[in-house]
Structure 1
Amino acid sequence: MPVIPEIADRLETFAAIRRDIHAHPEIGFQEVRTSGIVIEKLREWGIEVHSGIGGTGVVGIIEGNAPGRSVGLRADMDALPIEEETNLPWRSTVPGVSHACGHDGHTTILLAAAQRLAETRDFPGRVVLIFQPAEEGLGGARAMIADGLFEKFPCDEVYGLHNSPYTDPGVVGIKPGVAMAGADFFDIRIKGVGSHGASPQHSKDPIMVATALAQALQTIRSRNAPPHEAAVLSITQIHAGAAYNVVPSEAVLSGTMRFFTDEAAERMRTRMKEISAGLAAAFGVEIDVDIRDIFTVLENDGGLSEIVAGIAAEVTGKDLVKIQDEAATGSEDFADMLKAAPGVYFTVGHKGEVPLHNPGFVFDDDAIPLGASMLVRVAQARLAAG
């Protein structure tokens, strides 16, 4: 069962769809145009459509040739607040927004799979097509779930994929078990006392507190966690002041924490609050800590990972299946769907050396047939398994 010929033969058509989506990117929960394209195509192929799930989410239902189980296939639709820096003819037409992560490719891959599944329907049960908004830290998966996704459209299993410029073209990557980190975002607001820059003795300088706090927070990983425990704490923003001769009254630190267990997450959250409280007392300032749970730890089902790897070996070749040893410190809100139903999240390699979330990232359209073929084969195999 190699790449499905009918999908490969339509590459030009689907590449055009992908490039159109790419040229008109939309931030999370604003994917009105993108979801409109999805709805139009699904209806054109005779697929039952439900829109407005979790905001701009879309669900398609493909009934098979006999009663049976349900398998969900998911793709994300949102773009990033990144100015594109490519010279592609189909580069983003929206200032400050681009598909720098390949979600335009994911949407197109699921559309290609949907068309093939709808025209054959050679499986028992049903396929639930999940086109999700707002994956990039805005909680799109949770919004769809809260809106009754799995109550309205129950799934016995659910599957998703991500394009990967980090592996060679044709490579399908799978990490059984814990595969991607959970993540929190945080904002720490330091409220001090401002003064003239020439008389700092009259201030309670929040910038000095911020620099001390930025360093102290790194001891959570180096001094509070077991040496073998994987975790990341990154301060990615520092905001304070607006003039050369004024000590400001406030400073803000923002960033993210990544972890692979609930214990690690709770330790980091607790120590961040304790260290902040200690520095507040030491410097005589107020420090408010806001920590937000954004991503759940993504865990692939071990048995289903083996099955997907076997399907991948048939589709792309055994030598191009990569069973990964290490979990990624990146995060993905498909993890919340995997809490609701067992399944697997895997990667599809493609040409290009520019990393994801980079202004110069370019999606390789040649990955569309492999990604779509994998989704079709997985759905067919799992539904046939009964």
Structure 2
Amino acid sequence: MDLKQELFEKLRAKEDRMIEIRRYLHQHPELSFKEAKTAKYIADFYQNKGLDVTVETDINGEHGVIVEIDSGKPGKTLAIRADFDALPIHEETELPFASENPGVMHACGHDGHTAYMLVLAETLAEMKDQLAGKIRVLHQPAEETPPGGALGMIKAGCLEGVDNVVGIHVMSNFPFGKIFYKEGEVQTGRSFFKLTIKGTGGHGSSPHEANDAIVAGSYFVTMAQTIISRRINPFDMGVVTIGSFDGKGSFNVIKDQVVLDGDVRAMTERARNTIGEEIHKLVKGLEVAYSVKCDLEYTTDYPVLYNDPAFTRQAANILQNTKIDRVTDVVETAAIPPSEDFAYYAEKVPSSFIYVGAEVEDKAVYPHHHPKFDINEKSLLICAEAMGAIVVDYLTEA
């Protein structure tokens, strides 16, 4: 029997277990950098199964888990990654396995990532004698919260000796039965900032005796958009969003201080750097124009996620040439606006991040990070078979 088909048969026999694990994790979500119980659950999963694997926990003082599956034969080392943190969202799905932790929810599919990866890794370990090289399983915490869990994993050496990294993300708004890939830039890089504008307060009837922080802040909000329209190459994608403008006060009092929080996204590092430089210039000009004092905290975190073209083509070719039940097509996708800390791995090692359609059937579809977010659980087996196909072909190359 073909090795991939043998793997698929084993995975199909364990599909119910994948779903059971996903539902348990969904009921017991933990926030980024606080996933102690989830990490213990993952590490315990690999114990007492007769698997000859190395399990490393407490990665760089965080809750990551690294599992090494060594075939005992020379070859490449492929890292496969799944994240497992949840979000600070109160769940409204009314699922029978809804979150038992108030205000915390798996609203991005990381419970599904972990469920399929556990079963896949277990199965690959059972079949490792038929492979060559090594598989390094990266169970990563804290994807959702800066600075992200990938940095700690990398600092702890998770990429040492690794030739390539693959990640898969389930997508609730992508059609079920399809797998998506893209070469090159695929998800935005991100920065964020907090701007405190300090003016001089006063009475609304005497604006000439004050320096109005609200007027200065309003000018900043408007001018920040000219960075996108007048400073960014039209062929680059960039977004500046002011998500919070804290200027509440009395109707007849001129505010002496306002605080703005902003989000920056860009599809090239060039555009992201330009936006950052221009925001700093704009803040300096604000001080001169309005006689205010500005404190700017500007943080650059997740890079642009870049899928190595050659490795992504290799992975896509494997998937297109493999018969996977329930998969009707493997197609190229457009770039995706959200950011993803898998980008840190891709900065270090040629990598590819792939998407599996997980649109639910017979009910409303909600986007990621929504309190009614849900996935089609049949997509878990697709994830396992897709990742398994890549691993098998990659580690059995002549």
**TM-score, normalised relative to structure 2:** 0.91
Letter in 1 for 2:387: L
* Contact residue 196 and residue 247 of structure 1 kept, 8 A: yes
User: Structure 1's 212 and 145: CA in aligned 2 closer, same or farther, altered over 3 A?
Assistant: same
Following TM superposition, by how much is the alpha carbon of 1:244 offset from its aligned partner in structure 2, in angstroms?
5.3
Letter in 2 for 1:19: R
The yes-or-no answer on 1:339 pairing with 2:322 is no
* Contact residue 35 and residue 56 of structure 1 kept, 8 A: yes
3-state SS of 1:384 partner: coil
* Contact residue 100 and residue 362 of structure 1 kept, 8 A: yes
Residue of structure 1 equivalent to 2:369: 357
Q: 1:31 aligns with which of 35, 51, 54?
A: 35
Following TM superposition, by how much is the alpha carbon of 1:24 offset from its aligned partner in structure 2, in angstroms?
1.4
Q: Give percent identity, aligned residues only.
A: 32
Residue of structure 1 equivalent to 2:89: 82
* Contact residue 50 and residue 58 of structure 1 kept, 8 A: yes
The yes-or-no answer on 1:129 pairing with 2:137 is yes
Residue of structure 1 equivalent to 2:246: 239
Equivalences for residues 321-340 of structure 1 within 5 A: 321-324=330-333, 326-340=334-348
Whole-angstrom CA distance in 2 between matches of 1:33 and 1:197: 54
The yes-or-no answer on 1:53 pairing with 2:46 is no
User: Structure 1's 52 and 229: CA in aligned 2 closer, same or farther, altered over 3 A?
Assistant: same
**TM-score, normalised relative to structure 1:** 0.94
Whole-angstrom CA distance in 1 between matches of 2:274 and 2:28: 42
Residue of structure 2 equivalent to 1:12: 16
Residue of structure 2 equivalent to 1:191: 198
For structure 1, which segment, 244-253 or 171-180, has the greater mean C-alpha deviation from structure 2 after superposition?
244-253
Q: 1:316 aligns with which of 317, 324, 329?
A: 324
Residue of structure 1 equivalent to 2:387: 375
Whole-angstrom CA distance in 1 between matches of 2:120 and 2:48: 14
* Contact residue 237 and residue 268 of structure 2 kept, 8 A: no
Following TM superposition, by how much is the alpha carbon of 1:316 offset from its aligned partner in structure 2, in angstroms?
3.4
* Contact residue 236 and residue 268 of structure 2 kept, 8 A: no
Residue of structure 2 equivalent to 1:116: 123
Whole-angstrom CA distance in 2 between matches of 1:184 and 1:125: 38
* Contact residue 177 and residue 328 of structure 2 kept, 8 A: no
* Contact residue 83 and residue 95 of structure 1 kept, 8 A: yes
3-state SS of 1:67 partner: coil
Whole-angstrom CA distance in 2 between matches of 1:102 and 1:199: 55
For structure 1, which segment, 369-378 or 186-195, has the greater mean C-alpha deviation from structure 2 after superposition?
186-195
Letter in 2 for 1:218: Q
* Contact residue 11 and residue 123 of structure 2 kept, 8 A: yes
Equivalences for residues 270-285 of structure 1 within 5 A: 270-285=277-292
Letter in 2 for 1:323: E
Following TM superposition, by how much is the alpha carbon of 1:199 offset from its aligned partner in structure 2, in angstroms?
5.2
Residue of structure 1 equivalent to 2:378: 366
The yes-or-no answer on 1:143 pairing with 2:139 is no
3-state SS of 1:66 partner: coil
3-state SS of 2:133 partner: strand
Whole-angstrom CA distance in 1 between matches of 2:24 and 2:376: 14
User: Structure 1's 245 and 108: CA in aligned 2 closer, same or farther, altered over 3 A?
Assistant: farther
Q: 1:222 aligns with which of 229, 234, 241?
A: 229
3-state SS of 1:68 partner: coil
Following TM superposition, by how much is the alpha carbon of 1:89 offset from its aligned partner in structure 2, in angstroms?
1.3
Whole-angstrom CA distance in 2 between matches of 1:357 and 1:135: 13
State the superposition RMSD in angstroms.
Answer: 1.9
> Cα deviations across residues 318-359 of structure 1 (Å, max 9, x unaligned)?
8511112x3222111111111221121000001232111111
For structure 1, which segment, 252-261 or 216-225, has the greater mean C-alpha deviation from structure 2 after superposition?
252-261
3-state SS of 1:290 partner: strand
* Contact residue 26 and residue 111 of structure 2 kept, 8 A: yes
Whole-angstrom CA distance in 2 between matches of 1:21 and 1:141: 21
Whole-angstrom CA distance in 1 between matches of 2:292 and 2:324: 59
User: Structure 1's 285 and 320: CA in aligned 2 closer, same or farther, altered over 3 A?
Assistant: same
Following TM superposition, by how much is the alpha carbon of 1:105 offset from its aligned partner in structure 2, in angstroms?
0.9
Aligned residues: 383
* Contact residue 358 and residue 379 of structure 2 kept, 8 A: yes
* Contact residue 171 and residue 316 of structure 1 kept, 8 A: no
Residue of structure 1 equivalent to 2:71: 64
Following TM superposition, by how much is the alpha carbon of 1:201 offset from its aligned partner in structure 2, in angstroms?
4.6
Whole-angstrom CA distance in 1 between matches of 2:54 and 2:43: 9
Whole-angstrom CA distance in 1 between matches of 2:170 and 2:366: 12
